[in-house]
Structure 1
Amino acid sequence: MSAGMAGREAPLSRWTLLAFAFPAAPISAMGLPLVVHLPPFYAGSLGLGLTVVGAIFMLARFWDVITDPVLGVVSDRFETRWGRRRHWIVLSVPIMMLSVYMIFMPQGPVTAGYLVFWLFVLYVGWTLLTISHISWGAELTPDYHDRSRVQGARELLLIIGMVCVLALPAVIELANPENLAAARVASMGWFVLILLPISVAVAVWKVPERKAPRPEHVPFGQAVKVLIENRPLRFVLLADLISGVSGGIVASLFLFLAEDVLRLGKFSSALLLCYFISGVMFIPLVLWISRRFGKHRTAAGSALFNAITVPLILLIPAGHPELALGAFLLFGVNMAAGPFLFRSIMADVADHDSVQTKQTRTGLFFAMLTSTNKVGAAVAIGLSYMMLDVVGFVPGGENSAAALDGLRAVYVWPATIISAAVALILWRFPLDEAQQKANREILDRRMLDAAAAAVETRTLHPGDAQSSGAPAD
């Protein structure tokens, strides 16, 4: 076996990719309502108010800044016979199920304290699940392009979960329940409660973890220094942080834009549904482009596409669902590109760190990636809801033309400026396919050397191998 052979493993089968990605469907089915539906539900229907709800969801996201790195390190450090990732995914399921029930189907009087407590519990379970799942995906293959297939499959299931959960309100409306808002949110919660344990069971049962060498000990100060000096890491985290602000503003204000500004009424959910369907359809095209031009340049082009197209919102008149549909189908072309390309790029950054430190810190790296995005989203929802109060916007109420124009401005211009900045950052990203292949050669050579050393030890000291439980040659 030659060095680098591990980096030329056969591509993962489609069935393996889909089985691994299956839990992404309930993850997104919960994540989308957390940004789009739950804040308006608690602020409006349950009467907690825009500023209070915005502050709570912002604080909950900042709570993740603490839990994400801790759970990422835990995910890297503690290994069982299942591997390093799958047992944490299984452990997250009961935490998720209890907190989803309490958040999506609130029990008793709902106060700010109730929302804070259960939201914080929910984010602990969600962090444990998502970091372990993404890290597992990053370690399934060492190949530069196959990693994009893994994250592309995960993004596909994420979007399918979003599409399913967005279709539920239309079904609920046909039943004409007494409390439509509560029934919509509850249906989304039940979707997660039913699908989450099934999908996790399939993934854990069908997809094995790829063997990774145990990390060597590196002094804490040296490890932190290398982390700070890791230039590719700084690039991707900065881009992800400000992308989180942009995406958070757009997502958290969508329902207000669709219902109060564009006056789409019952077409609002259908519009979002078509947006995500468009995203599913164009994932293969994004994968082809990234294979041809590289991941970081494709991600930069994706951000530039956002900067150019988002201002079209300013041109859509109220009461014209066909124009809104055309615009959001166009937005959907690019919707999936950024998220899965960022995760694929981060897997390469983790390899770059392993070359420098001889550490395996994939969980920590993806914890930082999810943390930066969540911080961006937290800032987005907190600031955007406060800004709506400033411009005098009232959800579902009588709003002046100035208030509605203010909402459009908050929706469009931050996202446009930030997307242009992300494009510039990623275009200068220093880690390309050639550097990644060189890194894999080094890592594969280390694995071969370690395996050869282990065989030599067993050959020279067969008694020691037998006494330790290892078979002697």
Structure 2
Amino acid sequence: MAAALPWRQGLAYGLLGLPLAFVALPLYVLLPHHYAREFGMPLATLGGVLLAARLFDALSDPLLGRWADRLFERSPLAVLSTGAVSAVVLAVGLTALFFPRVQGQGALTAWALACLLVSYLAYSQLGIAHQSWGARLGGDELQRSRIVAWREGAALAGVVLASVLPTLLGLPVMLGVFAATLVLGWLAWLRAPRPAPAPPEATGLADLWRPWARPTFRRLLAVFVLNGIASAIPATLVLFFIQDRLQAPPGREPMFLAAYFLTAALSIPLWLRAVAHWGLARSWLAGMLLAVAVFGWTALLGTGDSGPFLAVCALSGMALGADLALPGALLAGVVAAAGDSGRQEGAYFGWWNFATKLNLALAAGLALPLLDALGYAPGTRSAEGLHTLTLAYAVLPCALKLAAAAALSFLLLRQPLAAAPLPSLGGQP
């Protein structure tokens, strides 16, 4: 078994996950609600913009993954310096997105699309490089889980900050904290353990498709996609559900989001213990079933049920901890088992992020226009519109989560992933 990851090294690697979460939550949760409420952008238009931007973002991820592999072939310093440029572009793009300098629906739509494309590209380049770095550190199942847990634990701390800062102190403060933590995260990354060097090899565009030649990758990705769609739909609709279905008092949104993400962060050590006893795949299955068992109650909630919804958020957060800490560790094991460690992590994580972005694109690009067509509009109080919102927010995700659990049982437990070699951590900074 590989030596345990010292906490200082884990924190140095994982801290960048905190500012990256400042991008994830605003772009995927806050932005649709912000543009609909503040600028009056119709849901159909907003859904189209998000779908186009997220599809472009998803399609670019595999190419960014191959670029990350090329950077690793050169040196870790090349990865770090490119990440610094992406960080600057990301900070500028995100600020421009939330504070548009144009007026009129047409100009606003074009501005939002352009800012989204720039922000997504910078965010994806930085995120894929960071994920690939962690996967290249190697280790057994538990070690890989610890590496991912440091990254995702820091990300959860960032999500909590991003969920409460806009309401408590405003968007400018949130963006200022994001920029400061982005600098700190990159400086910490400089001191993180560095992957062991791999001998250079001749690479070409054909290597972009190498992950698809691995049956274990295809099986794992199928489960990941189903599970991701189940999570992406409520993430897109949560603020609408809180304000219109629950009719919660103004300013309660940060409380619900904080409960969800704080319990997710606190649950990660418990999921690492589960991995030590059950393994990665069975622990992930337990997380899926827990999510359905607790989130299904949301379908029964109505006006004034803020207390029960807070309990659902906290219990669902425990299940989220499994979704964050375990699939990425499974993917690192697939890369190692396929013999692609130290050479192809970027390609794998490029396709992995492609699947993540595709889930989010479909959730926004299909769910929002569908709700609009079925009679729901932000602020509605009609029984038909609220019933449609409840079905989309609570019932559909549970059905998809059960399908993901069935796929996990059939594809990964009955046909287990090959045992991966156990490389030790890479070299020191």
- Aligned with 1:349 (options 334, 339, 353): 334
- Aligned partners of 1:30 and 1:189 also within 8 Å: no
Q: Is it true that 1:95 corresponds to 2:89 in the alignment? A: yes
Distance in 1 between the 2:375 and 2:177 partners?
Answer: 36
Distance in 2 between the 1:318 and 1:60 partners?
Answer: 34
- Aligned with 1:15 (options 4, 8, 21): 8
- Aligned partners of 2:196 and 2:342 also within 8 Å: no
Distance in 1 between the 2:203 and 2:350 partners?
Answer: 20
Distance in 2 between the 1:251 and 1:281 partners?
Answer: 20
Q: Is there any run of 5+ residues in structure 1 with no aligned partner, and where?
A: 1-7, 173-183, 448-473
Q: Kindly state the Cα deviation for residue 405 of structure 1 after the two structures are TM-superposed.
A: 0.9
Aligned partner of 2:398 in structure 1 is: 416
Matches within 5 A, 1:75-90: 75-78=68-71, 79-83=73-77, 85-90=79-84
Distance in 1 between the 2:161 and 2:342 partners?
Answer: 40
Q: Is there any run of 5+ residues in structure 2 with no aligned partner, and where?
A: none
Q: CA RMSD in A?
A: 2.2
Aligned partner of 1:165 in structure 2 is: 162
Distance in 2 between the 1:134 and 1:12 partners?
Answer: 16
- Aligned partners of 2:102 and 2:108 also within 8 Å: no
Structure possessing the higher radius of gyration over alpha carbons: 1
TM-score normalised by length of structure 1? 0.83
Length, aligned pairs only: 418
In the TM superposition, what whole-angstrom CA distance separates every residue of 1:399-426 from its partner, at most 9, and x where no partner exists? 2111101100011222111111111222
* Partner amino acid, structure 2, of 1:92: S
Percent of pairs with identical residues: 25
* Partner amino acid, structure 2, of 1:120: L
Q: Is it true that 1:136 corresponds to 2:133 in the alignment? A: yes
Which has the larger displacement, 51-60 or 239-248? 239-248
- Aligned with 2:231 (options 240, 247, 260): 247
Where 1:393 maps in the other structure, the secondary structure is coil
Distance in 1 between the 2:327 and 2:192 partners?
Answer: 23
Matches within 5 A, 1:271-286: 271-286=256-271
- Aligned partners of 1:75 and 1:85 also within 8 Å: yes
Matches within 5 A, 1:284-295: 284-295=269-280
- Aligned partners of 1:166 and 1:273 also within 8 Å: yes
Distance in 1 between the 2:87 and 2:370 partners?
Answer: 36
In the TM superposition, what whole-angstrom CA distance separates every residue of 1:262-306 from its partner, at most 9, and x where no partner exists? 111222221111111111111111111112111011112212222
Matches within 5 A, 1:56-455: 56-78=49-71, 79-83=73-77, 85-109=79-103, 111-172=108-169, 184-204=170-190, 206-217=191-202, 227-265=211-249, 266-354=251-339, 360-396=343-379, 398-427=380-409, 428-429=411-412, 435-437=418-420, 439-440=421-422
In the TM superposition, what whole-angstrom CA distance separates every residue of 1:18-56 from its partner, at most 9, and x where no partner exists? 111111111111210111111111122112211111111
In the TM superposition, what whole-angstrom CA distance separates every residue of 1:306-363 from its partner, at most 9, and x where no partner exists? 22322200122311321111111111111121122111111111112326xx872101
Q: Kindly state the Cα deviation for residue 432 of structure 1 after the two structures are TM-superposed.
A: 5.3
Q: Kindly state the Cα deviation for residue 217 of structure 1 after the two structures are TM-superposed.
A: 3.8
Where 1:436 maps in the other structure, the secondary structure is coil
* Partner amino acid, structure 2, of 1:399: R
Distance in 2 between the 1:47 and 1:170 partners?
Answer: 19
- Return closer, same or farther for 1:199/1:351 CA change in 2, 3 Å cut-off: same
Distance in 1 between the 2:205 and 2:83 partners?
Answer: 27
Q: Kindly state the Cα deviation for residue 224 of structure 1 after the two structures are TM-superposed.
A: 7.1
Where 2:47 maps in the other structure, the secondary structure is helix
Distance in 2 between the 1:317 and 1:399 partners?
Answer: 12
TM-score normalised by length of structure 2? 0.91
- Aligned partners of 2:2 and 2:143 also within 8 Å: no
Larger RCO (alpha carbons 8 Å, 6+ apart): 2
Which has the larger displacement, 315-324 or 33-42? 315-324
In the TM superposition, what whole-angstrom CA distance separates every residue of 1:162-194 from its partner, at most 9, and x where no partner exists? 11122213423xxxxxxxxxxx33333222122
Q: Kindly state the Cα deviation for residue 147 of structure 1 after the two structures are TM-superposed.
A: 0.7
- Return closer, same or farther for 1:296/1:212 CA change in 2, 3 Å cut-off: farther
Where 1:335 maps in the other structure, the secondary structure is helix
Distance in 2 between the 1:14 and 1:308 partners?
Answer: 34
Distance in 1 between the 2:311 and 2:69 partners?
Answer: 45
In the TM superposition, what whole-angstrom CA distance separates every residue of 1:30-86 from its partner, at most 9, and x where no partner exists? 210111111111122112211111111111111122211111101101344435632
Which has the larger displacement, 305-314 or 56-65? 305-314
In the TM superposition, what whole-angstrom CA distance separates every residue of 1:124-181 from its partner, at most 9, and x where no partner exists? 1001010001111111233321110010111111110011122213423xxxxxxxxx
Where 1:91 maps in the other structure, the secondary structure is helix
* Partner amino acid, structure 1, of 2:188: V
Where 1:111 maps in the other structure, the secondary structure is helix
- Aligned partners of 2:236 and 2:364 also within 8 Å: yes
- Return closer, same or farther for 1:319/1:42 CA change in 2, 3 Å cut-off: same
- Return closer, same or farther for 1:68/1:251 CA change in 2, 3 Å cut-off: same
Distance in 2 between the 1:134 and 1:359 partners?
Answer: 13
